[in-house]
Amino acid sequence: MMFRQIVFTLETYGVKNIVGIPFGYRGFFEKGLKEMPLSRHLVENINLNGGSFLGVSRGGAKTSEIVDSIQARRIDMLFVLGGNGTHAGANAIHEECRKRKLKVSVVAVPKTIDNDILLMDKTFGFDTAVEEAQRAINSAYIEARSAYYGIGLVKLMGRSSGFIAMHASLSSGQVDVCLIPEVPFTLDGEFGVLRHLEHLLKTKGFCVVCVAEAAGQDLLQKSGATDASGNVIFSDIGVHMQQKIKMHFKDIGVPADVKYIDPTYMVRACRANASDAILCTVLGQNAVHGAFAGFSGITSCICNTHYVYLPITEVIKAPKRVNPNSRMWHRCLR
């Protein structure tokens, strides 16, 4: 959907030769992957679907190989869509192009449901993910409320931050316990989550728990494995909590009925909602305007309610995380 707007704006500028590189950076070097000619006619309806028209992949070749490919294809504007890792790759490509004195403008656009890129109010995909995640929470609420001593447990995406879990919990209004990676917690003991769940079952008869995928990793055995992009592969906190809750309540003689929902890819695969569609349109248009203004090594984003260009170097220093002292987190606790 994002590059639909990029294609529209490029054509407005009179650009005739627009191509899409399939499957991310892999499309620059993998044999058998051919670039795709793009036009308004080809992309005008892609906003009606979720997913990625060009495809995605993890990992990539050496930066020098990618820039070799850019030179060979005579590309002079490169628009890169993605999250922190994609932005880091775009910055490396920008630096390599500068080193070679190539006239190539590299512009990134933030596209990640995790909303975890520094300095940005929100990234494309976040609002849609929260909306879909809220549906999972509402399903867990209905199931838990309908069961005798029902406990609804929902695991949501959030590789390094708890923004989806926090905002989905806030918007649903049904969550009793929200667990995010920024706030340490224990399951056992006097102040553990399990003891609090006991209290909730005694006082209201059911409860709903929302947990971000990166939460509580210190409670799990680490595999040490990484994916093709070098990201740590997390142990499954959702399944671990499901088993721990079942065992705990069985041990204390309470017939708790745990309903576990993991909507992971359903949250990511759906069509963008109205809020994200507007954000996507503006960021895509601005990316092209920035490239034609002669900028490179920038990202088109929204910061402090303003649409701006930021140097990629400033937004890839670390992932953005929920501030446990922020008003938004305290609103969630309330």
24, 30, 320: which is closest to 180 by C-alpha?
320
Residues 295, 299: Cα–Cα separation, whole Å: 10
pTM: 0.94
Count Cβ neighbours within 10 Å for each residue of 265-299 and write b for 16 or more, e otherwise.
eebbebebeeebbebbbebbbbbbebbeeebbbbb
pLDDT higher than 90, residue 288: yes
Per DSSP, what are the bridge partners of residue 257?
150
Task: Give the model's pLDDT for residue 189.
Answer: 95
Please state the separation of Cα 1 from the chain's center in Å: 16
**Catalytic machinery residues:** 114
125, 154, 267: which is closest to 215 by C-alpha?
154
**What is the arithmetic mean of pLDDT over 169-184?**
97
**What is the arithmetic mean of pLDDT over 108-122?**
97
Residues 254, 29: Cα–Cα separation, whole Å: 58
Cα distances (Å, whole numbers) of residue 29 to 61, 70, 72, 257: 7, 10, 11, 51
What is the β-pairing status of strands 257-261 and 19-20? unpaired
**What is the arithmetic mean of pLDDT over 45-64?**
84
Both tokens of 39, joined, read: 């036009």
Res. 229 pLDDT band, cuts 50 70 90: low
Res. 134 pLDDT band, cuts 50 70 90: very high
Res. 226 pLDDT band, cuts 50 70 90: confident
83, 24, 73: which is closest to 231 by C-alpha?
83
Res. 262 pLDDT band, cuts 50 70 90: very high
Residues 93, 87: Cα–Cα separation, whole Å: 10
Per the prediction, the chain carries an average pLDDT of 94
Both tokens of 105, joined, read: 């403008």
Q: How many CB atoms lie within 10 A of CB 69?
A: 17
Residues 187, 185: Cα–Cα separation, whole Å: 7
If residue 177 lies in a helix (H) or strand (E), which one and from where to where?
strand 177-179
Contact 198, 270 (CB under 8 A): no
Please give the DSSP secondary-structure letter assigned to residue 91. H
